[in-house]
Structure 1
Amino acid sequence: MPPIARLTVAFAVGVWLGLGLSEPWPACWAVAAAAAVTSWIRPWWGTLLLTLLVGLLTGIVRAHREAGTCQARWLPGPKSVLLRIHDAPSRRGTTSATILHAREQCDGVVRVRVVGDVPAGAVLLAVGTAYPGGVVRLTHYRVLARRSVWRYRIRRRVAQRVATLYGPRAGLVEALVLGRRDDIPRDLRAHFARAGLAHLLAISGLHVGVIAGWVLLVLRWAGVGRQRWVIGAAVTWLYVALLGFPAPATRAAAFMALHAIARLRQRHPSPSAVLAVAVVILLQMDPGAVTAVGAWLSVAAVAGTSWGRDIARGRGFRGWGGMLVASSTGATLFTAPITAWSFGSVAPIGVVANLAAIPIASLAVPALMLSLGVGQVMAGSAGLLLAGLERVAQLAGGVPLGSITGTAGLRFAIPWCVVLAMAVMITRRGFTSWRRAKRTLAIGAAAVWVPIAVPAWVGRDRDHVLSIHVLDVGQGDAIVVRTPRGRWLLVDGGPRAGASDAGRRIVLPFLRRHGVDQLDAVLVSHGDADHLGGIPTVLRSLDVALVMEPGQPVGTNLYLDYLAAVDRLGVPWRVGRAGDTVTIDSVTLAVVHPRDAWVPGQLAPNENSLVVHLRYGCFDALLTGDVGSVVERDLLPSLTPVEVLKVGHHGSAGGTEGAWLDVLTPQVAVISVGPNRYGHPAPTVLERLADRQIDTWRTDRHGTVTISTDGGYLWVTGGRPATLAGSVLCRIRHWLRSSGSSSSKSGCTPRPPATSPICSTTSPSPRR
Structure 2
Amino acid sequence: MRKLCWFAAPCSAAIFLSVYLLPEDWLPPAGILCVLLSLTAFLFRGNTRWKAALVSLGLAFGFLWTSGYAAIFRAPARALAGETAEYTLTVTDYPKETRFGVSIPTKLTLEGAPAPKVLLYAGWDAKPLMPGDIISAQVRLAPSDFLRGEQFDYYQSRGIYLLGYTDIVTLEEHPTHIPPPYWPQELARRLKGSISEVFPADTAGFITALTTGDKGALPDGLYAAFQRTGLSHIVAVSGLHISFLASVLTLLLGRHRKRSFLAGMALVFFFAAMTGNSPSALRAAFMEGLLLLAPLLGREDDKPTTLSAILLLLLLQCPYAAASISLQLSFAAISGIYLISEPLALRWSKGLPKWDKGPKKAVRALLFFLITTLATTFGALLFTTPLSAWHFRSFSLAGPLTNLLTLWAVSGLFLGGLATALAGLFFPGLGGVLAWAVSWPARLVIGITKTISGWPFAAVSLTSIYLVGWFLLSYTLLLLCLFFRKRGLRPVIPCAICVLTLCAALVMNAWPIVSGALTITVLDVGQGSSTLFYSGGHTVLVDCGGNSADDPGDIAADHLQAMGTSKLDALVLTHYHADHAGGVPELLSRIDVSLLLLPNVEPEDPLRSEILSLAQRNNCEVEFLSEDAHITFGDASMTIYAPLGDGGANEEGLSVLCSAGDFDTLITGDMNHVVEHMLVKYKHLPDIELLVVGHHGSKSATSEELLLAATPEYAVISSGYNHYGHPALETLERLGAAGCGIYRTDQMGTVTFTLQGK
Q: TM-score under structure 1 normalisation?
A: 0.71
1:664: which partner in 2? Answer: 710
Verify the 8 A CA contact 1:84 1:100 in the aligned structure 2: yes
Q: Map of 1:12-161 to 2, 5 A cutoff?
A: 12-19=12-19, 23-30=23-30, 32-33=32-33, 36-37=36-37, 39-40=39-40, 44=51, 47-64=54-71, 65-69=73-77, 73=81, 82-84=89-91, 86-87=93-94, 97-101=104-108, 107-110=117-120, 114=124, 118=128, 120-121=130-131, 123=133, 125=135, 134=163, 144-145=174-175, 147-149=177-179, 150-161=183-194
Once the two structures are superposed, residues 461-516 of structure 1 have per-residue CA deviations (whole angstroms, 9 ceiling, x without a partner) of 539965321346799865223465644414465675xxx57949965643452367
The 3-state SS of whatever aligns with 1:469 is strand
Report the Cα distance in structure 2 between the residues aligned to 1:152 and 1:703, rounded to whole angstroms: 40
Q: Whose relative contact order is higher, 1 or 2, with alpha carbons under 8 Å and at least 6 apart?
A: 2
Quick check: 1:462 aligned with 2:496? no
1:383: which partner in 2? Answer: 436
Q: 2:339 aligns with which of 304, 307, 310?
A: 307
Q: 1:430 aligns with which of 461, 482, 485?
A: 485
- Aligned-partner residue type, residue 646 of structure 1: L
Once the two structures are superposed, residues 542-581 of structure 1 have per-residue CA deviations (whole angstroms, 9 ceiling, x without a partner) of 54986979999xxxxxxxxxx987777777999x999665
1:726: which partner in 2? Answer: none
Once the two structures are superposed, residues 656-700 of structure 1 have per-residue CA deviations (whole angstroms, 9 ceiling, x without a partner) of 78875564355x52444899997799688557538xxxx887879
Unaligned runs of 5+ in 1: 553-562, 600-604, 709-713, 716-742, 745-768
1:590: which partner in 2? Answer: 640
Verify the 8 A CA contact 1:83 1:101 in the aligned structure 2: yes
Report the Cα distance in structure 1 between the residues aligned to 2:98 and 2:672, rounded to whole angstroms: 44
**Distance apart, 1:173 and its partner CA:** 2.6
1:186: which partner in 2? Answer: 220
1:249: which partner in 2? Answer: 281
Report the Cα distance in structure 2 between the residues aligned to 1:112 and 1:272, rounded to whole angstroms: 45
Quick check: 1:640 aligned with 2:685? yes
Report the Cα distance in structure 2 between the residues aligned to 1:629 and 1:114, rounded to whole angstroms: 37
Verify the 8 A CA contact 2:91 2:135 in the aligned structure 1: no
Quick check: 1:208 aligned with 2:242? yes
**Distance apart, 1:308 and its partner CA:** 2.9
- The 3 A distance-change label for structure 1 pair 626 and 264 is same
**Distance apart, 1:191 and its partner CA:** 3.7
Verify the 8 A CA contact 1:11 1:280 in the aligned structure 2: yes
Unaligned runs of 5+ in 2: 148-154, 156-162, 351-367, 616-621, 721-725
Report the Cα distance in structure 2 between the residues aligned to 1:525 and 1:383, rounded to whole angstroms: 43
1:173: which partner in 2? Answer: 207
**Distance apart, 1:196 and its partner CA:** 2.4
- The 3 A distance-change label for structure 1 pair 336 and 445 is farther
Quick check: 1:295 aligned with 2:343? no
Q: Which moved more, 1:395-404 or 1:91-100?
A: 91-100
**Distance apart, 1:536 and its partner CA:** 4.5
Q: Which moved more, 1:540-549 or 1:639-648?
A: 540-549
1:341: which partner in 2? Answer: 390
Quick check: 1:362 aligned with 2:389? no
- The 3 A distance-change label for structure 1 pair 17 and 409 is farther
Q: Map of 1:476-625 to 2, 5 A cutoff?
A: 478-482=530-534, 486-491=538-543, 493=545, 500=549, 503=552, 509-514=558-563, 521=571, 523=573, 536=582, 540=586, 543=589, 587-591=637-641, 595-596=645-646, 611-614=655-658, 620-624=664-668
Q: Which moved more, 1:252-261 or 1:180-189?
A: 180-189
Verify the 8 A CA contact 1:652 1:682 in the aligned structure 2: no
Q: Which moved more, 1:475-484 or 1:697-706?
A: 697-706
Verify the 8 A CA contact 1:18 1:57 in the aligned structure 2: no
**Distance apart, 1:252 and its partner CA:** 0.4
Report the Cα distance in structure 1 between the residues aligned to 2:274 and 2:733, rounded to whole angstroms: 62
Q: Map of 1:619-768 to 2, 5 A cutoff?
A: 620-624=664-668, 635-638=679-682, 639-646=684-691, 648=693, 663-664=709-710, 668-672=713-717, 685-686=735-736, 688-689=738-739, 704-708=750-754, 714-715=755-756, 744=758
- The 3 A distance-change label for structure 1 pair 448 and 485 is closer
- The 3 A distance-change label for structure 1 pair 410 and 662 is closer
Q: Which moved more, 1:327-336 or 1:191-200?
A: 191-200
Report the Cα distance in structure 2 between the residues aligned to 1:226 and 1:418, rounded to whole angstroms: 49
Report the Cα distance in structure 2 between the residues aligned to 1:619 and 1:332, rounded to whole angstroms: 45
Report the Cα distance in structure 2 between the residues aligned to 1:594 and 1:343, rounded to whole angstroms: 41
How many residue pairs align between the two structures?
677
1:270: which partner in 2? Answer: 302
**Distance apart, 1:407 and its partner CA:** 5.3
**Distance apart, 1:114 and its partner CA:** 3.9
The 3-state SS of whatever aligns with 1:640 is coil
**Distance apart, 1:227 and its partner CA:** 5.0
Report the Cα distance in structure 2 between the residues aligned to 1:597 and 1:354, rounded to whole angstroms: 53
Verify the 8 A CA contact 1:175 1:181 in the aligned structure 2: yes
1:719: which partner in 2? Answer: none
The 3-state SS of whatever aligns with 2:416 is helix
- Aligned-partner residue type, residue 706 of structure 1: T
Cα RMSD of the aligned pairs, angstroms, is 5.2
